[in-house]
Amino acid sequence: MKTVQVNIVTPDGPVYDSEVAMVIAKTVSGEIGVLAGHIPMVAPLTIGAVTLKKEDGSQEIVAVSGGFIEVRPDQISILAPSAEVAANIDLARAKEAMARAEQRLQMKQDDIDFQRAELALKRAINRISVHEGNM
Amino acid sequence: MANLRDIKNRIGSTKKTSAMTKAMQMVSASKKNRAEQNAKAYVPYMEKVQDVVAAIASGTSDATHPMLVSRPVKKTAYLVIGSDRGLAGAYNSSILRQLTRTLNERHKSKDEYVILAIGRVARDYFVKRGYNVIESIIGLPDQPSFSDVKQIARKAVGMFADGTYDELYMYYNHFVSVISQEVTEKKVLPITDLAPASEGVHASYEFEPSGDAILEVLLPQYAESLIYGALLDGKASEHAARMTAMKTATDNAKELISALSLEYNRARQAAITQEITEIVGGAAALE
């Protein structure tokens, strides 16, 4: 099976760089699976998991918080404000962030705070589910 | 000649100061290394974002996104990146001096521009002089993460989008080397010079859902990342400037100590000589 180079880059540095057989990502218009040799494409991502299927059948999951995916025939780049490989996720911190976000949602102050808390909650839930999906 | 105890006190206090500056120099050196690493780790992200934005903007021929269009300029915003603390040599003063000069050259009245300040020194400087500082952020950590900066970056981009100002410039110290930092002006908005950072960029992307929708998401991210990049650069410069300033201070203290020691020894010797002369004189008078 043909493989494609994938790198996931965040402002704090590269997170992932490897050859994979298939990338599954959640874009704003739905989930997509990309194989090697895909035509050039760009799509924004939602907060969610990116699944990287290796040639030998194993897979890795990376939690990303938005950003976008850029596909070229020989290379796939994912640019996200933050991204974590499942094994590196700090579960305690994610749970803490979730509790904090939930608390803030209940206070309901003004719109902006509300939106931010909601996003934070989504990110935390995403990190937790990615971490657990790995185990 | 100053008296012995005075000189000794001065030597003591200078030694203490130099111990402090030496420690600060070492702290800044390690912070500078970290900041430099951060700035380096950020480069691949920035280049990628730039590539994609350039490819999309050139691919969609009718790029009419508000962030790409130059409007008639009624108000200009300047984002100045300074530091929270002083003791960094000319780091803040050179940037403030240059910006003030530019403001005086370009604008006739203070109504034509607004200032966004990062760092306590920069904020205080402009507030004190009655400039219109509409936004400021202080207390950024030494190794700022993207989320620390997101808020001010988002606000800066948002205020451009809703027409609070029509242009946004950034002023920061670009890190050239440990001994040299350059005050740099960069136009952030509207986004005009979009050159791909690397060769071989595909212009024929397929967009999901559409080019416009992607620009909608991408351009604010691009502008935010420009600001974040400048901030990382500025932080590296800040630590380098502080390190150099503290090194100079330590060197000066050393010089001062050696000059004072010489003076101290001379004074002591003079006192001894005088005592001997007095004793000899006294003995001679008795005979």
CATH code of the domain in which A53 resides: 2.60.15.10
Q: How many CA atoms lie within 13 Å of B119's alpha carbon, on the beta-carbon side?
A: 26
Q: A105 and chain B: CB distance < 8 Å anywhere?
A: no
Interface predicted TM-score (ipTM):
0.71
Query: What does B231-277 look like in DSSP terms, one character per residue?
Result: HHHHHHHHHHHHHHHHHHHHHHHHHHHHHHHHHHHHHHHHHHHHHHH
The architecture in CATH of the region B41-242 reads 3-Layer(aba) Sandwich (3.40)
**Tell me, what CATH number does A124's domain have?**
1.20.5.440
Check whether residue A21 and residue A56 sit in a common domain. yes
* Residue B61 pLDDT grade (very low, low, confident, very high; cuts 50, 70, 90): low
Check whether residue A60 and residue A118 sit in a common domain. no
- Angle formed by the axes of helices B211-286 and B91-106, nearest 10°: 130
Domain residue limits at A113: 90-134
Q: What is the domain partition of chain B in residue ranges? A: 4-24+246-286, 41-242
> What CA–CA distance (Å, rounded) separates A50 from A83?
10
Residues 14-53 of A with CB under 8 A from B: 14, 27-29, 32, 39-44
**pLDDT tens by residue, B203-231:** 567 777 777 777 777 888 888 888 888 88
Check whether residue A20 and residue A58 sit in a common domain. yes
Tokens found for residue B124 = 């205080």
Check whether residue A119 and residue A68 sit in a common domain. no
Contacts of B150 in chain A (CB under 8 A): 81
* Residue B195 pLDDT grade (very low, low, confident, very high; cuts 50, 70, 90): low
**pLDDT tens by residue, B231-264:** 888 888 888 888 999 999 999 999 999 999 999 9
Tell if the CB–CB gap between B41 and A13 is shorter than 8 Å: yes
User: Chain B: which residues have CB within 8 Å of chain A?
Assistant: 38, 41-42, 44-45, 48-49, 51-52, 55-56, 145-147, 150, 202, 204-209, 213-214, 217-218, 221, 225, 228
What's this model's pTM, rounded to 2 decimal places?
0.78
Helix (H) or strand (E) run with residue B206 in it: strand B206-207
Check whether residue A81 and residue A98 sit in a common domain. no
Check whether residue A32 and residue A57 sit in a common domain. yes
Check whether residue A77 and residue A112 sit in a common domain. no
> What CA–CA distance (Å, rounded) separates B161 from B224?
13
Q: What 8-state DSSP symbol labels residue A45?
A: B
Determine the average pLDDT of the residues in B93-103: 88
**pLDDT tens by residue, B114-128:** 888 888 888 888 888
Check whether residue A60 and residue A14 sit in a common domain. yes
Q: How many domains does chain A have?
A: 2
Spacing of C-alpha B115 from chain mean position: 16
CB-count exposure of residue B64 (10 Å: 0-12, 13-18, 19+): exposed
**Which one of A12, A27, A79 has the shortest CB-CB distance to B208?**
A27
Is residue B171 a contact partner of residue B79, using CB atoms and an 8 Å limit? yes
The architecture in CATH of the region B4-24+246-286 reads Orthogonal Bundle (1.10)
Check whether residue A119 and residue A70 sit in a common domain. no
